[in-house]
Amino acid sequence: MKFSKNYLLNLYAIDLLIISFASLLTLLNIIFFNRVDDWINHIFFNTILSIFIVFIAHKDATVKSLFWREFHYWYILPTIFISFKEIYFMVKPIAGVDCDKYLMAIDKFIFGVNPTQFLFQYSNPVLTEILQIAYSTFFFLPIILIVELQLKKKILSFRFAAFSITLGFVLSYIGYFLVPAVGPRFTLHNFEITNFELPGIWLTNHLREIINTAEAVPQGTLNPIEVVQRDVFPSGHTQMTLIVMYLSYKFKTKSRYFIYPTGILLIFATVYLRYHYVVDVIAGFIFMVVTMYLAKYLFNLWNKYRNCEIFDYESNN
């Protein structure tokens, strides 16, 4: 029993979060095994991942080397993306239906028009280029924030920021299960002619193709609406960007002067570029508030159990 508890106490809050989410995905695969292809492989992967995390935490706690410490900090990056691709194979078969018609109806009720169609009249290549570039910084903004915190040796703040960001991803992934949707670029517009309707200048088409490929619809995909990832509600781009902006403000980072304007452009781009309905953006804001409330509570709850330092914004600036 003491041996098992020692292994448990080696885990950071972020480790426990990832293991818990992997366990949730495993449970869903078991419950819906008759709908999810390769459900056994998913369970195997989640089990191996959980064991691997325990192993990394144990090595970091016992070996005390720079390699294991940094590995323990940064293994989360590929894990977030791999989990994103795992739920790609789960959301559609488990949910069975898309909720786009309801999201469109809410937008229409609020604004009287479909916002992406309304914004099309103001589109131009320069604006599209700027917004596509801003939209593509999504994965870099969190890294910029946590790298600055690490370089400043604000380790507790670094761990809290990493935990908050990861929790945000986890909650957004759960949202995709609850409200699966493909977004206005498929429902209100013709996805195949996006490059012609919203042209950029130099980088837009290339960046758009990278994003499309990550969402399982590379160029030439037949019937893309059937195979694209259901990742619209909430707008993870909005939620995660707001989390990074909020943490940048609370920690008074130097990078906030880049993160603020880029984040504002990125959030506007989610609608202008037809990736999201406005209601997705609103949900992203709500999910951000919930994330930040839960993050501090859960992070400190686990640190208290481990007899570690409790996080507080004021004392960690």
pLDDT tens per residue, range 120-134: 999 999 999 999 999
Distance CA 244, CA 295 (A): 13
What distances in angstroms separate CA 207 from CA 75, 103, 147, 201, 212, one per listed residue?
Answer: 25, 26, 24, 11, 9
Angle subtended at Cα 161 by Cα 7 and Cα 305, rounded to the nearest 5 degrees:
35
Residue 314 in this model has a pLDDT that exceeds 90: no
| Cα dihedral 239/78/44/95 (nearest 10) | 30
What's the count of helices (H) and strands (E) in the chain, helices before strands? 18, 0
Residue (of 178, 113, 261) closest to 269 by Cα position:
261
pLDDT at 238: 98
3-state class (DSSP) for residue 190? coil
Residue 49 in this model has a pLDDT that exceeds 70: yes
Residue 3 in this model has a pLDDT that exceeds 70: no
pLDDT band of 317, cuts 50, 70, 90: low
What's the average model confidence in pLDDT over 223-230? 96
Residue 27 in this model has a pLDDT that exceeds 70: yes
Residue 298 in this model has a pLDDT that exceeds 80: yes
What distances in angstroms separate CA 153 from CA 26, 75, 91, 143, 302, one per listed residue?
Answer: 36, 19, 39, 15, 22
Residue (of 240, 208, 64) closest to 140 by Cα position:
240
Distance CA 184, CA 177 (A): 18
Residue (of 32, 260, 307, 47) closest to 145 by Cα position:
260
pLDDT at 202: 96
What's the average model confidence in pLDDT over 242-259? 97
pLDDT at 6: 77
How crowded is the C-beta side of 305, counted as CA atoms within 13 Å? Answer: 14
Angle subtended at Cα 107 by Cα 104 and Cα 111, rounded to the nearest 5 degrees:
140
pLDDT band of 4, cuts 50, 70, 90: low
User: What is the model's pTM?
Assistant: 0.95
pLDDT band of 32, cuts 50, 70, 90: very high
What's the average model confidence in pLDDT over 261-277? 98
Residue 290: alpha-carbon gap to chain centroid: 14
Share of the chain above pLDDT 90, in %: 96
Within 8 A by CB and 6+ apart from 313, the residues are: 250, 251
- Please give the structure tokens belonging to residue 4: 């098992």
Residue 316 in this model has a pLDDT that exceeds 80: no
Residue 73 in this model has a pLDDT that exceeds 60: yes
The packing angle between helices 155-178 and 13-31, to 10°, is 20
Angle subtended at Cα 247 by Cα 244 and Cα 248, rounded to the nearest 5 degrees:
80
What distances in angstroms separate CA 146 from CA 141, 251, 281, one per listed residue?
Answer: 9, 11, 24
| Cα dihedral 119/125/127/130 (nearest 10) | 130
- Please give the structure tokens belonging to residue 139: 């994965």
Distance CA 291, CA 149 (A): 20
- What's the chain's average pLDDT? 95
What's the average model confidence in pLDDT over 210-221? 95
* Per-residue pLDDT tens over the stretch 137-190: 999 999 999 999 999 999 999 999 999 999 999 999 999 999 999 999 999 999
